[in-house]
Structure 1
């Protein structure tokens, strides 16, 4: 198991070998992916975050799928990861949850380390896109309880979606793609 410190050290070591590093952080919904990513970007000079929520399709992410079809992995790869890894300027379109459509293009953040956190990230569509992959290793029932509690605190009632769509999607994705053992680092949140 990796600690935040060992992950930072690993990223710094990779950065000493290459000028631009991509890091993928994945795990079950509610596991703490965003929390870890915020900690990493706050601790690593020259890093930036790309939120997986900016690459979700609101309709497809609310439907049953065995591969988290609602995650726009191809768009993430083409608009962000490929240009960043090639050292080329690029632009991406965040999903605007208020208008329920893609926003105007914005520049990829200027950074040496680009950290992406999302569900369903460790998928064949993104093979080879990350220099380091981190699985936030929290059991699905615990992650789900945390995710539901977070939603309730934010005034969102998504219990039905958690129970009928998101948890079954997580189970299917995990059984189909087995992301935990493919990750370079396992991180257990507090």
Structure 2
């Protein structure tokens, strides 16, 4: 199990040998992906974060799928990961949760380290494009309870989505694609 200090060291090591590197942080919904990504960006100079929530397929945003099909890995790959790693200029479109539409294109961030946090990114569709895959090692029940609590505190009642879509998607994805085992590091917040 890796601690936060281990993760920061690994990110610095990547930066020392690559002009541009990608860290992919994944875990079950509610595991703490966004929190960890924000902490990592604060700790590593030249790092920027892109939210996985910006890469949603609008028509699949609330659908059940065994492979987290609502995460637009094709768009993430083509608009962000490939051009970023190549050092090419490019643009990407964020998903707007308020309108359920994609926003106009914006330029890729200029950075040496790109941190992407999302469910469903430790997947064969993105093989070779994530230089350091991190799995937040929080069990599904704990992550779900945290996610529901976070949403309620924000005034969002997503319990039906959690129970009917997101938890089954997480369970199926983990069984089929084994993201915990695919990760380069398994992060333990208590370490």
> What's the TM-score, normalizing by structure 2?
0.97
Q: Give the structure 2 partner of residue 8 of structure 1.
A: 8
Aligned partner of residue 62 in structure 1, secondary structure = coil
Q: CA deviation at 1:58?
A: 4.0
1:131-180: CA deviation from partner (whole Å, max 9, x where unpaired)? 10000110000000000000000000010111111101111000000110
Count how many residue pairs are aligned between Structure 1 and Structure 2. Answer: 190
Aligned partner of residue 61 in structure 2, secondary structure = helix
Aligned partner of residue 171 in structure 2, secondary structure = helix
> Is 1:100 matched up with 2:104?
no
Aligned partner of residue 148 in structure 2, secondary structure = helix
User: What are the residue-to-residue correspondences of 1:31-110 with 2, within 5 Å?
Assistant: 31-110=31-110
Q: Supply the distance in 1 between the matched residues of 2:125 and 2:131 (Cα, whole angstroms).
A: 15
Q: Is the 8 A contact 2:26 2:33 kept in 1?
A: yes
Q: Give the structure 2 partner of residue 135 of structure 1.
A: 135
> What's the TM-score, normalizing by structure 1?
0.98
Q: Supply the distance in 1 between the matched residues of 2:83 and 2:109 (Cα, whole angstroms).
A: 11
RMSD value over aligned CA atoms?
A: 0.9
Ranges of 4+ aligned residues in structure 1 off by more than 2 Å = none
Q: Give the structure 2 partner of residue 173 of structure 1.
A: 173
1:28-83: CA deviation from partner (whole Å, max 9, x where unpaired)? 00000000000000111000001000001244131110000000000000000000
Q: Is the 8 A contact 2:58 2:102 kept in 1?
A: no
1:1-37: CA deviation from partner (whole Å, max 9, x where unpaired)? 1111111111111111111111100000000000000
Q: Is the 8 A contact 1:29 1:147 kept in 2?
A: yes
Q: Supply the distance in 2 between the matched residues of 1:158 and 1:42 (Cα, whole angstroms).
A: 30
